[in-house]
Amino acid sequence: MTENSIHLIDREALASACQAEAPGFRRWVTKHVTGVCGVGKWLERWQWQNHSRCPRCDAAGEDHRHVYQCSARSARIEWQASMNDLRTWCEHHSTDPDMLEVIITCLMAWRNGQALPPYFGRDHLATAYDAQRQIGWGCFLEGSIAQSWLPVQAAYLISQGSMKSANTWARGLVRQLWKVAFKMWLHRNSWQHDDANPENHHQHLELDHQMESAFCQGTASVLKEHQHLFLMPLADRQQLPLTDKVAWLEFVQLAQRQARAHLGRQQETRRRFRAWARSGLPDPPPMPSVSVSPTGSKKRKRSRSRSVSSRSLRRQGDLRPPSSAICDSPVPAPSNVTPRKRKRPPD
């Protein structure tokens, strides 16, 4: 859509259709018209998943328009059913048959990525077709219909002698187009969360492996108030849906982080208590360094014996009289007594 084509949109029909819908559905319409919704491109940007592929056709870069233009077989079947519902509604509300064929044909061509068929003529229908082509048929599916459709429908209602209003028809058409888009969105989501999806099957296997490792750690990895997470057996846990598995693993990881933080606080408290208990004690004297050698034990024994003998010698030295006393004492004179000879033993 360009700036020049904005004035071609029937804003009155769009505003009246928004007022007729519930607030939740209006929120959904706003998200999908702006393109900021839960598709692969935005889920990857929001880090909800690590890829942007379509869950139905596995095409990369899924955006809000790809929801309607997906080439998967199930998406084609769902689109055909939606077009049948749109045709039924238009026929029930007295829509111009020629205009109905143009709308259905152009929507089918836009969905398949084909060139829009030309329309030759100078009537009001040709004018409406050209105006809608400038706006875009993707915008048409999102409720931005051209104002030129109303004169065509009004002329047909007058020709049929109907008392219906073209404005009421336009409001109902916008709401029906939103239902078609919403039906395609529901089909896309149902396929994304289906267990038959290959991506979901791979996620199930990965989550089962993570659950097995969590059960191997068991209740010892969490606090007592979180041990209820392991009451259900592992086999029953693995049979739960994908969302329940993700939620359980998030709770277990949170409980394990809290247990590790609690253990760290306990260790820090013990360390501080030991430091406080040692703060009032004197520091022990430094130990003498002893050289290690192959005969180190013998050297230690000899040094101990030497230290004992040195201590005993010091004690004996303390008991001896001083040297001055020894010098002052008289020296006895040698005697002239000859030593007695020893007798010879008898033979």
Higher pLDDT, 117 or 236: 236
pLDDT digit string, tens, across residues 25-49:
999 999 999 999 999 999 999 988 8
DSSP letter, residue 283: P
Same domain, 246 and 142: no
Same domain, 251 and 129: no
CB 93 within 8 Å of CB 172: yes
CB 110 within 8 Å of CB 137: yes
Which pLDDT band, with edges at 50, 70 and 90, does 293 fall under?
low
CB 111 within 8 Å of CB 80: no
C-alpha distances out from residue 38 to 14, 30, 35, 97, Å = 24, 13, 9, 36
Same domain, 114 and 25: yes
**Residues spanned by the domain of 231:** 199-270
Which pLDDT band, with edges at 50, 70 and 90, does 243 fall under?
confident
* pLDDT at residue 9, as a whole number: 92
CB 170 within 8 Å of CB 40: no
Same domain, 168 and 224: no
* pLDDT at residue 69, as a whole number: 93
Phi, psi dihedrals of residue 270, rounded to the nearest 5°: -65, -40
pLDDT digit string, tens, across residues 266-282:
999 999 988 888 887 66
Query: What is the total count of domains within the chain?
Result: 2
Same domain, 47 and 167: yes
Which pLDDT band, with edges at 50, 70 and 90, does 194 fall under?
confident
Which pLDDT band, with edges at 50, 70 and 90, does 50 fall under?
confident
Out of 175, 192, 209, a domain closes at: 192
The token pair at 307 is 């230290």
Tracing tokens 């040195």 back to the chain, one arrives at 310
Same domain, 134 and 211: no
Same domain, 203 and 188: no
Q: How far apart are CA 136 and CA 5, in angstroms?
A: 9
Q: How far apart are CA 169 and CA 290, in angstroms?
A: 105
Q: How many CB atoms lie within 10 A of CB 145?
A: 26
Mean pLDDT in residue range 91-110: 93
- DSSP helix/strand/coil, 75: helix
Same domain, 143 and 44: yes
Mean pLDDT in residue range 49-54: 87
